[in-house]
Amino acid sequence: MLAVASYNLCNLGLDARPGRIERIAEHLAERLGGPALVALQEIKAPGPAGGDGRVPADAVYAALAEAITARGGPAYAWLEVPPEADSTGGVPGFNIRSGLLYDPRRLSLTGHAEITAPVALERGRLCPNPGLLAPRDPAFAGDAEAGWRPARPVLAAEFDLAGEPLVVLNVHLKSMQAESRRASEAARKQRHAQARRIRGFVDRLLAERGAEARLLVLGDFNDTPGTKTLAIVRGEELVNLHDALPKRQRYTARHGGRPVVLDHVLASPALAAGAELHVDHLNTDAPLVRRASDHDPLLARLAT
């Protein structure tokens, strides 16, 4: 079994309030059992930007990884594509991005490159690896005429899992939060456009690798089951592992005080067979002072 988690960390940075990094480390190392792979959303690094204009968050990953190891968890490696300053939406100056923690004893990155171009498939393999999916597309870079604002591009990575390739798309789509009905509608349409870009990549990968393709699309979709966003990404092939859970257990966050399902794990058929998903309500059901984030972590166990 391969354990994979997804966790939106609510603007986690080195300035986190005392104990928050340690509580997240406890969740990952002890409550979730140290998954082989963890997709993280909302890691922040205020800067300053480097000479190339990008803002890395290595210090945040290092602090979190050290805290996880101290709790008895794996010695995680991490990867991201550092964003250009003020290019990813969210709170101005936070430069939030998605990243991955992985246990190099169980997974190995199939290649590494300095990221200068959008990710593509070359002979069925990701290049560069890791990379960003269509980062300059208006769906992610923003489009003032459509009312679309910059948002996080999808982080793509490919790992070797017991001699077989595993492709992971870490998703953090445009936020549901909006100051007006018009802005809310624009954000909804932007998520649809983002979903179509993801679906295009999924189609290409499945066409090249066929029924044996090992693909995960997971993270914070900022949309709920039954919406057009999820339907576009899912298509006819991918399986939303949430569907096997009792409806009352599916929520991953609260929006306007109501429990909602915003975080999802979608798997290709080769990974979905025999898979299990668990949502641990460590934050949404906890007192405010005990919450490490405004989202709950998801844990998928995959029969690989």
Provide the mean pLDDT of the chain: 94
Instruction: Give the mean model confidence (pLDDT) for residues 19-28.
Output: 97
Q: With bands split at pLDDT 50, 70 and 90, how would you rate the model's confidence at 114?
A: low
What percent of the chain is predicted at pLDDT more than 70?
Answer: 98
Instruction: Give the mean model confidence (pLDDT) for residues 172-198.
Output: 93
Strands 215-220, 164-172: pairing kind = parallel
Q: 208 is written with which tokens? A: 């090249």
Is the overall model pTM greater than 0.85, yes or no? yes
pLDDT at 80 over 70: yes
Neighbours of 29 (CB within 10 A): 20
Provide the residue type at 123 as one letter.
Answer: R
List Cβ neighbours of 254 (8 Å cut-off, separation of 6 or more): 260, 284, 294
- HSE at residue 188, side-chain half, CA atoms within 13 A, is 9
pLDDT, tens digit, for every residue of 234-263? 999 999 999 999 999 999 999 888 999 999
Domain count, the chain: 1
Q: How far is CA 86 from CA 41, 94, 139, 141, 170, in A?
A: 16, 8, 16, 11, 20
Distance CA 29, CA 23 (A): 10
The reported pLDDT for the residue numbered 241 is: 97
What percent of the chain is predicted at pLDDT more than 90?
Answer: 84
The whole domain housing 85 covers 2-302
Radius of gyration of the chain (CA): 18
Distance CA 51, CA 166 (A): 33
Identify which of 85, 121, 119, 79 has the alpha carbon closest to the alpha carbon of residue 103.
79
| CB crowding 153-187: b at 16 or more within 10 Å, else e | bbbbbbbebeeebbbbbbbbbbbbebeeeeeeebb
Any idea what the CATH number is for the domain that residue 208 is in? Answer: 3.60.10.10
